[in-house]
Amino acid sequence: MVLFTAPFWGARSDRLGRLTVIRIALLAIAVGNIVLALVVLAAEESLLSPLVVVALIFASRIVYGAFVGGLYPSVQAHILDTTPHAQRAKALSRVSAAINVGRLLGPLAGLVAVHWGVAALLVALGVAPLLLLMVMGVKAGKAEESSKEEESPNIREPLWQLCGPVFVMAVFVTGVFGVLQFSIGPVLQTRLQLSSVTTTEQLSSLMMVVSLITLIMHVICSRLMGRRHLTLLRAGATILLTGCLVLVQTESMWAIWIGLSLAAASVMMMTPAYTALAAEQVNHERGKMTGLLSMMHSGGYAISGIVAGAAMTLGIDMVMFGALVLASILFLITTIVVDDSPIKINSDYKNPDYKNPDYKNPVAPGVN
């Protein structure tokens, strides 16, 4: 559902304010998880029929999916609104790092479920957003007013025209990584001849290590994430292509670890870079822009699953080759198509102080 709700809530954040949409999303997450926890408890006590349990589970997930799509785009747009130009990629990379921290904590959540039950875990996941809402309420005030986007007198052009190459990159980045994630399990089973149980164990270890490596790359690259957006994009595309080359030819576990780690590190580099680059192409509707980016990410994952599933009928080697082809196209896009030259509607590019890290656009003060 995020594929459809992210653009909607991103656009709403331009009108209602970023923090308002973030609060709505957090409240929906809390309600969805708490309702799901109650359903699990009722099912364990046989208080509801199986049909009602299934219906309520679907309902809770629909509520979750209908609103959670606004969280990530609104957070990104809020960062873009409140962060100086030269610090945007660095700030966005911290969001990616936080997501990877969540992935590292995922196995720990499984331990909680084993010892305390699934319902207890869901209640905790429902209470956490409520606590965050309380913290946001304490810090509310002028920040809420500044989170609403003001009208810019600059001529507006369609976001697809301004940020088209970035949207294409978003599809390819998530598409390549999605294909790799989909195919790693079959690679372990077919090339390394691992059992299903061993494959599952290795995949869990791989995901944790990849998340940890991504965090380390965040620390290393955060020092470089100034206005070097195009450099980071091209470096990330090169690393992703290298990782795919390693995985295509892999015959050992070490090669799989290296290839997947390179791919994950490249995604960490590219995502904040092209988001910050897109933000510099627009000084209006940044919420809508980040919402469309989220839609492209979800679409890329969805397409990768379909493509990988279809290619699997031809063998795992064909799937890996497909990932390599997609990574090669992405490399060409970042090398030939994308540039960071100014466009005509951004009058602030003409300001001699634009490259100052603390410069903010005087034309649209509510945006920057």
318-367, pLDDT tens digit by residue? 888 889 999 999 999 988 877 655 443 333 433 344 344 443 443 333 33
Mention every residue, 6+ apart, whose C-beta is less than 8 A from residue 368.
Answer: 81, 85, 283, 360, 361
Domain boundaries, the chain: 2-146, 159-337
Question: Which CATH architecture fits 159-337?
Answer: Up-down Bundle (1.20)
- Residue 197: Cβ within 10 Å count: 8
Write down the pLDDT at residue 284: 74
DSSP for 153-187?
Answer: -SPP--HHHHHHHHHHHHHHHHHHHHHHHHHHHHH
pLDDT at residue 23, as a whole number: 92
CB 199 within 8 A of CB 88: no
| DSSP conformational letter for 140 | -
Give me the residues of the chain with pLDDT under 70, please.
Answer: 103-104, 106-114, 138-157, 221-227, 339-368
> Residue 95's pLDDT is what?
82
